[in-house]
Amino acid sequence: MRWKWLTQDKILSWDISHRKNMNMMCCLLCYANHDSHSHLFFECKFSTQVWLMVRQKVGMDSVQPKWDDIVKWLLDRSKSNSAADYVARLLVAASAYLIWQERNARLFKNQLRPPETISEIIIQQVRYKLMGAKLKNCDNVRRLLGDWEIKGTELQDDGG
């Protein structure tokens, strides 16, 4: 299964060698290009639309729909423990995963969803992850959860 190695944790260590056989295929999201890693994430017209709809949610407004730019932004903050950077990582992983899933849905199930729907699912998925995350009950986190319409009562109490 191709998507087995495309788990959200592994998305940053993408192995390009797995994808050679994909290069022959027309992109099923825009039908205007070849299906390749850099095209899908996120230079494809479809993916670009998705990225532009979700990026401001995590303060990545200035980050262009290019894999290298997005990864660089994340790597610059990879040692950060801030909740905001954690959410950014969740969002990028969810975006890549959902775009990949949509591509597969078109390939195998002939199912076709617009970028608006994909963006909504990405936001939902990040919300669910945030609800389940053990975040510190502090001002920053409460503000962040407010932005995601999650009530503070769902926070784990820090004990102190």
Q: Taking the C-alpha atoms of 91, 94, 97 and 99 in order, what is their torsion angle to the nearest 10 degrees?
A: -70
Residues 6+ apart with CB under 8 A from 140: 82, 83, 84
For Zn ion, give the closer residue by CB, 41 or 73: 41
Per the DSSP assignment, residues forming a β-bridge with 10 are: none
Q: Compute the distance between CA of residue 132 and CA of residue 147 in angstroms, rounded to an integer.
A: 16
Q: Taking the C-alpha atoms of 15, 114, 68 and 35 in order, what is their torsion angle to the nearest 10 degrees?
A: 50
**Least distance CB 33 / Zn ion (angstroms):** 5
Segment contacting Zn ion by CB under 5 A, of 20-28, 54-62, 83-91, 105-113: 20-28
**Least distance CB 124 / Zn ion (angstroms):** 24
For Zn ion, give the closer residue by CB, 30 or 131: 30
Segment contacting Zn ion by CB under 5 A, of 10-18, 32-40, 128-136, 137-145: 32-40
30 counts as binding Zn ion under rule CB under 5 A: yes
Tokens of 48: 């670009």
44 counts as binding Zn ion under rule CB under 5 A: yes
105 counts as binding Zn ion under rule CB under 5 A: no
Q: Compute the distance between CA of residue 120 and CA of residue 108 in angstroms, rounded to an integer.
A: 22
Segment contacting Zn ion by CB under 5 A, of 2-10, 33-41, 65-73, 142-150: 33-41
99 counts as binding Zn ion under rule CB under 5 A: no
Element (H, E) at 1: none
**Least distance CB 2 / Zn ion (angstroms):** 17
